[in-house]
Amino acid sequence: MPSLADAYIAEDPALRDFFAKPFRTLFDAPPEIHPWDPAVLEAVQRLNGSLECPPLAGNEAIIITGQQPGLFTGPLYTVYKAVSVVLLARAVTQRTGVPCAPMFWIGADDHDFEEVCTAHILTRNHESLALHYEPDQLVDGLPLFRVPLSPGLHALIEDAANQAPGSEHRGEVAAFLHASLDASSTLAEWFARIMARLFRDTPLRFFAPYLPDAQAAAARVIEREIREPLITTRLVNDAGQRLEALGYAAQVVKGDTDCAFFLEHEGRRRKVVFERGRFHLPEEHLFCSQEEMLSLLHASPERFSPNVALRCVVRQALLPVAAYVAGPGEIAYWAQTRGLFEHFGYPMPIVYPRTRAVVTATKLKKLLARFSFSLDDLALSEDLLVERALRQTARHPALDAIERRRASVQAEMQALLEEMDALKLKSEAPLDMARNASEQIASVLERLERGMLRSDEAQTEAVRKQVRRLCTALAPGRKPQERHYSVLSFLFEQGWEFVPRLLRLLDPESFILQEVEL
């Protein structure tokens, strides 16, 4: 059965009721432009001004995507999401005449530091290098916009610059990384500066939910959640059960008492549950009544943040969003949110699949062609890939002999089986023996062929190294390249032209894995 994301792209009718509109309708009609909250617009203008991005006009529909702020921008798909919104906003504006602005939501109210503290680069030696950030202080439970930076990150920049391919642009890129690190105080701020530089010559704008005016405006949604506790959890779980009835796994599964918001306590983002008429922070052993929670929200809205499902509604409450660009996992959890939009009274935006890509090179493409590999083949085990590669490249007289005789031997055994079967023997035993003999002969021929393929140890080792190079570059750890490597893998070699090149080469209306050849 296809994944939910694949079924969504294929426009499976069974999924229609889980979304407001099919994603391809984004281009069919002008998107509605909802008025901005003036305070939120002003906060967005200040943020983008600090990132040297031009201001918004304030009359645009928003095409948005988002991601947690990762070290060195995190995996490549973060960049592909931003590329997608830039291209989609341009296309919608051209086709409908309605101004659309691409925007990136910096998900810095999340607190899973372990998910974002490591970046991987592809080195000049064709290896995967992990760059890991260990702060000087304990950051467990801190929202990412509070995670501090330490001088040790300068050493990671140098390590990346020295290990990654490229030389012409290395100094310029490294100098920016050092300077932007010094100019930033938190991981989220540094992430925003790097992303803004990558997309400097585009209309991409940025939003941060930790902006005070945004937090105050989001309190409207949180307040209703406090007054009607657990309704979001019930709606999300009900949608998950309906998806499971169709054969899909629910992406978001919450405990029956889990609230849809978090509360900061002493700077740490903590889970909230509602039990026996009271709110409870299990990690802190704290309890409060509904009225106490409402009073706390009114006094300190900055301490509250939505969970992954309620965030979709909060985003719509803050911004005039026409479409959200989502990765495969996000499409799956968006499928559980339609009831939330109906409950809170906000329009559900179109959920548009993000662009998928793999960065390759001429030498890598030649190796793929030489071995007759597809990109999907690289998910197979190394031993199987080596064997397949050897079959394409190894030359040995014995292999030719086996190949010549295999068909005739198999044909003779098949003829024997048919003749014995036609005799209608009283016992099945002779026929069973003949079948076993046929299978054993085929197995012997296969083992003989494998042995001959690997008989040249030097050739086998050379092929193994080439297979490893392919897998490390294009499918590290047998998973998509875009989910593993950071943009730094290519930035030192390509310079700041890398993103403009992606914008020229990638098609936001294509949902196959697109190749970008450097």
Over the stretch 221-264, which tens digit does the pLDDT of each residue have? 999 999 999 999 999 999 999 999 999 999 999 999 999 999 99
Q: Is the pLDDT of residue 88 over 80?
A: yes
Distance CA 128, CA 194 (A): 22
Joined tokens for residue 334: 């968006």
Q: What's the confidence (pLDDT) of residue 33?
A: 82
Q: What is the pLDDT of residues 262-308, one digit of tens each?
A: 999 999 999 999 999 999 999 998 999 999 999 999 999 999 999 99
Q: What's the confidence (pLDDT) of residue 369?
A: 94
Q: Fill in the DSSP letter of residue 184.
A: -
Q: Supply φ then ψ for residue 204, to 5 degrees.
A: -65, 135
Residue with tokens 């009900």: 238
Alpha helices in 372-428 (DSSP H): 382-393, 397-422
Q: What's the confidence (pLDDT) of residue 35?
A: 86
Helix (H, G, I), strand (E, B) or coil at 204: coil
Confidence of residue 109 (pLDDT cuts 50, 70, 90): very high
Contact residues for 27 (Cβ-Cβ < 8 A; gap 6+): 91, 92, 95, 96
Helix (H, G, I), strand (E, B) or coil at 242: helix
Distance CA 96, CA 443 (A): 63
Comparing CA positions, the residue from 336, 342, 341 lying closest to residue 254 is 336
Q: What's the pTM value of the predicted model, to 2 decimals?
A: 0.89
Question: Are 244 and 272 a contacting pair, CB within 8 Å?
Answer: no
How do beta strands 321-326 and 61-67 pair? Answer: parallel
Joined tokens for residue 14: 């069974």
Query: What amino acid occupies position 307?
Result: N
Q: Is the pLDDT of residue 421 over 80?
A: no
Give the relative orientation of helices 498-505 and 76-96 as an angle to the nearest 10 degrees.
50
Strand partners, 104: 65, 206
Contact residues for 285 (Cβ-Cβ < 8 A; gap 6+): none
How do beta strands 268-275 and 258-265 pair? Answer: antiparallel
Q: What is the pLDDT of residues 462-500, one digit of tens each?
A: 888 999 999 999 999 999 999 999 999 999 999 999 999
Residue with tokens 């998950």: 240
Question: Are 34 and 23 a contacting pair, CB within 8 Å?
Answer: no
Joined tokens for residue 253: 């599964």
Distance CA 476, CA 479 (A): 6
Query: What amino acid occupies position 208?
Result: A
Q: What is the pLDDT of residues 332-349, one digit of tens each?
A: 999 999 999 999 999 999
Contact residues for 85 (Cβ-Cβ < 8 A; gap 6+): 63, 64, 65, 102, 103, 104, 204, 325
Helix (H, G, I), strand (E, B) or coil at 200: coil
Q: How many CB atoms lie within 10 A of CB 371?
A: 20
For the chain, which residues make up each domain, given as ranges?
Answer: 217-306, 362-481
Contact residues for 449 (Cβ-Cβ < 8 A; gap 6+): 399, 402
Contact residues for 30 (Cβ-Cβ < 8 A; gap 6+): 96, 97, 98
Q: What is the mean pLDDT of the chain?
A: 91
Ramachandran class of 114: left when φ > 0, alpha when ψ lies in -120 to 50, beta otherwise: alpha
Q: What is the pLDDT of residues 10-39, one digit of tens each?
A: 999 999 999 999 999 999 988 988 888 999
Q: How many CB atoms lie within 10 A of CB 123?
A: 16
Q: Is the pLDDT of residue 400 over 90?
A: no
First to last CA, the chain: 35
Helix (H, G, I), strand (E, B) or coil at 122: strand
Distance CA 98, CA 160 (A): 42
Question: Are 260 and 233 a contacting pair, CB within 8 Å?
Answer: yes
Comparing CA positions, the residue from 57, 68, 66 lying closest to residue 101 is 57
Q: Is the pLDDT of residue 402 over 60?
A: no
What's the Cα-to-Cα distance from 84 to each of 59, 73, 77, 364, rounded to whole Å? 21, 16, 10, 26
Joined tokens for residue 70: 């990762």
256 vs 443 pLDDT, higher one: 256
Residue with tokens 């973060």: 78
Question: Are 252 and 241 a contacting pair, CB within 8 Å?
Answer: no
Confidence of residue 409 (pLDDT cuts 50, 70, 90): low
Q: Is the pLDDT of residue 412 over 70?
A: no
Q: Is the pLDDT of residue 152 over 90?
A: yes
Give 376's Cβ-side CA count (13 Å radius).
Answer: 2
Q: What is the pLDDT of residues 91-103, one digit of tens each?
A: 999 999 999 999 9
Distance CA 113, CA 119 (A): 12
Among 44-53, 88-97, 188-197, 434-443, the range scoring the smallest mean pLDDT is: 434-443
Question: Are 425 and 431 a contacting pair, CB within 8 Å?
Answer: yes
In this structure, is the dihedral angle defined by the CA atoms of residues 235, 237, 238 and 240, taken in order, positive or negative?
A: positive
Tell me what the mean pLDDT of segment 53-68 comes to. 94
How do beta strands 118-122 and 128-132 pair? Answer: antiparallel
What's the Cα-to-Cα distance from 334 to each of 94, 420, 514, rounded to whole Å? 27, 61, 24
Distance CA 88, CA 8 (A): 18
Q: How many CB atoms lie within 10 A of CB 166?
A: 17
